[in-house]
A and B are shown apart, each in its own frame.
Chain A
């Protein structure tokens, strides 16, 4: 079953890292195939950033996403650039602290950036909250798989902060409503 997941936001939020972690979970811990690609600008921070992961149980030939069925959107600009044309049966996980528009497809509001700041004291882990919410909402990889992939990928000393963020993402998705 092929899934195409698109992440968008701005440089510095960890948009590309989120996709890397998700792809790693699918390949290393769920035994599937995955291809991760990205589009970013020359700026180090602040420019629009997009990354994508294709997950499949068969080898992946065409490596780019064409019509994603899953979106993770973390900025208004990212929504306008990549989220507006989402197909009707797609699912969108929105950072409701930063994205004001709402799509025609199903979506779930996750106030990740606000919660990262207020509950965890570090807005840098907003992307991990979004990853947790994504996995809880779509089951695109197993929860154990995303946990292991997060631990592989984050800097030493930040493991417990990131796991807290992931679990907060699980909770927010459970409490949230898919609209």
Chain B
């Protein structure tokens, strides 16, 4: 099965019943598959006039209680940025898939990249936090799409599947489970204020059509949901809660894989470069090369770095000029070496082996 098809199948298995978007290479197969399948399970597929409307329709669908998603790539992702902020501010659960291609601008529509990793974290204006996952196989396109839906529902936040063209378009063996874990968004308790959060910092969800009268706005709002955009303290409290509800959970929801924790030279990866590193480890079993692979990239769990107490260097192969390397650097005193490879090509095992030797 193709990675993009596996993503769509994962979404359907997770209970996604709304897709709104605009087709773009290399993500189009997701929209195609959802268009074919959603009507058969009572869902809705809408091709909107552009990506701005695509994400807007997803936000609206989510407020009716539907699990909703869109899928895009670089240029469409840029168009979605403002409404991503709206989804954050209104605490709307939704899933956005970005099958990353070469940018900036139209760039390389058919070639792989991982150059939107910071855009997904910081691309909309204002301070906020989101959740992002990066699959390294067709199997994970399925699994992590399911996970994205559950995390989006649980935290009432946009969750991103930040895949790359190689994984999206690759075909390989996949095993689809009979059922998948499912987390529901917490409903609003009758009589409670719609934007008042308890200790978990996540308010109950007042689903449209269930009798709640709720005002949903991108303006800074009080716990009733009414605009109140001039109070410094209210704005501070709201923004801090929106960030903290995700960031304070970063170790609980951390999802990464560790190989050779006693190693001194350690690769850190996410997405398709992980496959090259796995090959290097497989081909050099006696060399004690470490590998930390993030499946969940944002919020970044810096504790994962402590899994390698003997590490002397972190090597970070990415299909960009060093985006996650910059984040890793903030959390460690040892050298962090970006190994950029882009233009659509994937690092070769020989290339990464050489990078290891340079640090021996």
Contact = CB atoms under 8 A, between A and B. Distances in A.
Nearest to B138: A35
A39 interface: yes
Contact of B272 (A39, A41, A63, A66): A63
Nearest to A23: B171
A41 B109 CA distance: 8
A40 B110 contact: yes
A10 to B, nearest CB: 15
Contacts of A23: 171-172
Determine chain B's interface SS by DSSP, over half rule. Answer: mixed
B223 interface: no
A18 interface: no
Contacts of A38: 169
Interface string A60-104: 111110100000000000000000000000000000000000000
Contacts of A61: 275-276, 278-279, 282
B166 interface: yes
Interface in B330-360: 344, 346, 348-350
Nearest to B348: A66
A64 B275 CA distance: 9
A34 interface: yes
Contacts of A173: none
Nearest to B345: A64
A33 interface: yes
Interface string B274-315: 011011001000000000000000000000000000000000
Contacts of A8: none
Contacts of A35: 170-172
Determine chain A's interface SS by DSSP, over half rule. Answer: mixed
A39 B110 contact: yes
A42 interface: yes
A20 interface: yes
B275 A36 contact: no
Nearest to A53: B171
B45 to A, nearest CB: 23
Contacts of B172: 23, 27, 33-36, 60, 63
Given A42-B109, A62-B349, A37 B169 contact: yes
A42 B110 contact: yes
A7 to B, nearest CB: 13
B357 to A, nearest CB: 18
Interface residues on B, range: 20 to 34
Interface residues of A, number: 19
B355 to A, nearest CB: 15
B40 interface: no
A37 B112 CA distance: 12
Given A39-B110, A40-B110, A42-B25, A63 B275 contact: yes
B135 to A, nearest CB: 13
B125 interface: no
B173 interface: yes
A63 B170 contact: yes
Interface string B46-57: 000000000000
B173 A62 contact: no
Contacts of B25: 42
Interface string B17-48: 00000000100000000000000000000000
A37 B276 CA distance: 15
Contacts of B171: 20, 23, 34-37
A35 B346 CA distance: 15
A40 B112 CA distance: 12
A37 B170 contact: yes
Given A42-B109, A63-B272, A66-B348, A33 B173 contact: yes
A34 B110 CA distance: 22
Contacts of A63: 166, 170, 172, 272, 275, 346
B278 to A, nearest CB: 4
Interface string B149-193: 000000000000000001001111100000000000000000000
B174 to A, nearest CB: 10
Contacts of B275: 61-63
Interface string A21-51: 0010001000001111111111000000000
Given A36-B171, A62-B279, A64-B346, 16 more contacts: A20-B171, A27-B173, A34-B172, A35-B172, A36-B172, A37-B170, A37-B171, A39-B110, A39-B111, A62-B349, A63-B170, A63-B346, A64-B348, A66-B348, A66-B349, A66-B350
Interface of A: 20, 23, 27, 33-42, 60-64, 66
Enumerate the 5 nearest inter-chain pairs by beta-carbon distance, A residue then B residue, closest first: A62-B279, A36-B171, A61-B279, A61-B278, A35-B172
22 contacts: A20-B171, A23-B171, A23-B172, A27-B172, A35-B171, A36-B170, A36-B171, A37-B166, A39-B111, A39-B344, A40-B110, A42-B25, A61-B275, A61-B276, A61-B278, A61-B279, A61-B282, A62-B279, A63-B166, A63-B170, A63-B272, A63-B275
